[in-house]
Amino acid sequence: MTFTLQQALIPVDQGYATVDVQVVGDTIAAISPNLEVVGTVVNCENKLLLPGFFNAHTHSSEMWQRGVIPPLPLELWLAELYDFAPLELSKVYLSALGTAVETLLSGGTSVVDHLVLIPGQEFETIATAVRAYQEVGIRAFVAPLIWDQPLISGIPTGGNQPEDTTQGRSATEILQMLQEAINKFHQPEAGVYILTAPTGMQLCSDQLFAGCVELSDRYNLCRHSHLLETKAQQLLAQEKYGCSAVEYLNRIGYLSSRTSLAHCVHLTDDDIKILAQTQSTVVHNPLSNLRLGSGIAPILKYRQAGVNVTFGCDGSSSNDSQDLLEAIKIGSILHNVTDLDYQHWITPRQSVEMAALGGAKGFNLGDKLGSLTVGKKADLVLYDLANLSLLPRTDPIGLLILGRPTQVVDSVWVDGKRIVENGAVTTINVEDLKQELFAKSEWATNRKSKTVTQFEAHYRSVMGLPEAEIKGYS
């Protein structure tokens, strides 16, 4: 694993430079024009080299339902999602592979999988996802998605809560399982990180949060949760705690420089100050926020307040893809309509920094990842600038971020290991993966979610929507 990238285009302060990059082991050893060759030579002529990006929030098994859930807001969408969530480890494995492949081929070298656990097979679900990510070779942040309150409690009651028959495990049982998963799978040196990841205040008890804080402190783990994704959650926090969800999380000591929070759509200016003070990271999931009608997260305000922001695809039932470049593009230009002053708009180079270094910082690796810096780990992506979607030659980063790059990733290295070459993943057989995904699925659109039917009238009432005929969505 010693090699020299020759003649790569990289961004520098004033435009671009053509350089050679020496990688020794898992580390960037030198960056300079005309270096002596060490190890294998990789010809990078007409190719752009960037640090790998973070797909900083996703739920891999949602791949099985991508494209099929009708236009619904989060609370009803979740009801449908869970009615049809996969209950087989073999599917968890395949969707983790698929998520890794799509992330790699759109510029990501790290994936944060807020992993939905199969009830009764929680530990095995984690084991399965870890195995898939290790086979692919992507840097994997596995965040077992835990919650201990019934699904309906994620919707404000409005003083009138319908019955819910969903049954979860207790906080104690969950934390015990998590402890075992940490013992077994948390191996930073092997590129696998376990996170404590209570889904969010909407479905988690104080006890569960406290247990996660304790575990994350004991093992120096990152913390990862959803935060104020919807207006309903904003209402719920007031109903549940009499304060904003951010104030609550701050009070219980959950916010820190190791804490990353997905969505953050409905925060007040005071909430934003707390995120900045605690050095928490916002994971921006623009496509999911649009698809579910959650809103536009105030990303320009976060940046002005000094809050670290990075990007996620979110699960592919709410996006419905794992194309990180698409999430970065939309997550950058979306905010131009929220502030008339274009001098505040995100530039393509800032987007790259958010996606790479922003992710590294958010997951406690700012000193090891996220930039083309001698001494950092070699998590690198090489883009083919002769691809039609990156032509004609203009500003390579401008076009990568603002265009619609299609199959532009030539090569990917994680920890110095090349896992994509000539646009193809080398560690697993993607043709086999496609065939298995095909074989284990069917074109079916006439399904009907029982739980949506059960929740819908209550949701509409609480959210102030007119009573409406329950439609057969198609």
Q: Segment 99-118, which members bind a second copy (CB under 8 A)? A: 101-102
Is 5 or 100 the residue whose CB approaches a second copy more closely?
A: 100
Of 25, 39, 67, 253, the one binding a second copy (CB under 8 A) is 67
Provide the b/e sequence for 119-137 (b: ≥16 CB within 10 Å).
eeebbebbbbbbbbbbebb
Is 296 or 374 the residue whose CB approaches a second copy more closely?
A: 296
Decide if residue 167 touches a second copy (CB under 8 A): no
Query: 86 — alpha (psi -120 to 50), left (phi > 0) or beta?
Result: beta
Compute how many residues bind a second copy; rule: CB under 8 A. 93
Decide if residue 336 touches a second copy (CB under 8 A): yes
Q: Which two tokens stand for residue 459?
A: 């949701």
CA distance 298 to 358: 17
Is 42 or 385 the residue whose CB approaches a second copy more closely?
A: 385
Contact (CB, 8 A) for 311 and 354: yes
Residues within window 367-426 making contact with a second copy, judged by CB under 8 A: 385-389, 391-404, 406-407
Is 54 or 147 the residue whose CB approaches a second copy more closely?
A: 54
Is 14 or 165 the residue whose CB approaches a second copy more closely?
A: 14
Q: How many CB atoms lie under 10 A from the CB of residue 6?
A: 17
Residues within window 6-25 making contact with a second copy, judged by CB under 8 A: 9, 14-16
Is 36 or 341 the residue whose CB approaches a second copy more closely?
A: 341
Q: Which amino acid type is present at position 459?
A: Y
Q: Element (H or E) spanning 219, and its range?
A: helix 206-219
Minimum CB–partner distance for residue 226 and a second copy (Å): 17
Residues within window 22-51 making contact with a second copy, judged by CB under 8 A: 46
Is 374 or 470 the residue whose CB approaches a second copy more closely?
A: 470
Query: 295 — alpha (psi -120 to 50), left (phi > 0) or beta?
Result: left
Of 289, 310, 364, 451, the one binding a second copy (CB under 8 A) is 289
Minimum CB–partner distance for residue 445 and a second copy (Å): 4
Residues within window 268-287 making contact with a second copy, judged by CB under 8 A: 287
CA distance 376 to 51: 10
Residues within window 218-277 making contact with a second copy, judged by CB under 8 A: 231
Is 159 or 337 the residue whose CB approaches a second copy more closely?
A: 337
- Helix, strand, coil shares of the chain as percentages rounded to 5? 40, 20, 40
Candidate segments 37-45, 129-137, 176-184, 312-320, binder of a second copy by CB under 8 A = 312-320
CA distance 180 to 176: 6
Q: Which amino acid type is present at position 112?
A: V
CA distance 7 to 27: 19
Candidate segments 35-43, 72-80, 129-137, 183-191, binder of a second copy by CB under 8 A = 72-80
Is 98 or 362 the residue whose CB approaches a second copy more closely?
A: 98
Minimum CB–partner distance for residue 397 and a second copy (Å): 8
Of 58, 60, 65, 199, the one binding a second copy (CB under 8 A) is 65
CA distance 289 to 461: 22
Decide if residue 349 touches a second copy (CB under 8 A): yes
Residues within window 440-469 making contact with a second copy, judged by CB under 8 A: 440-446, 463-466, 468
DSSP state of 156: -
Minimum CB–partner distance for residue 224 and a second copy (Å): 24
Closest to 50 (Cα-Cα) out of 99, 127, 106, 120 = 106
Closest to 317 (Cα-Cα) out of 286, 290, 297, 291 = 291
Residues within window 422-441 making contact with a second copy, judged by CB under 8 A: 430, 433-434, 437-438, 440-441
Is 269 or 442 the residue whose CB approaches a second copy more closely?
A: 442
Query: For the CA atoms of 94, 99, 103, 105, what is the dihedral angle to 10 degrees?
Result: 40
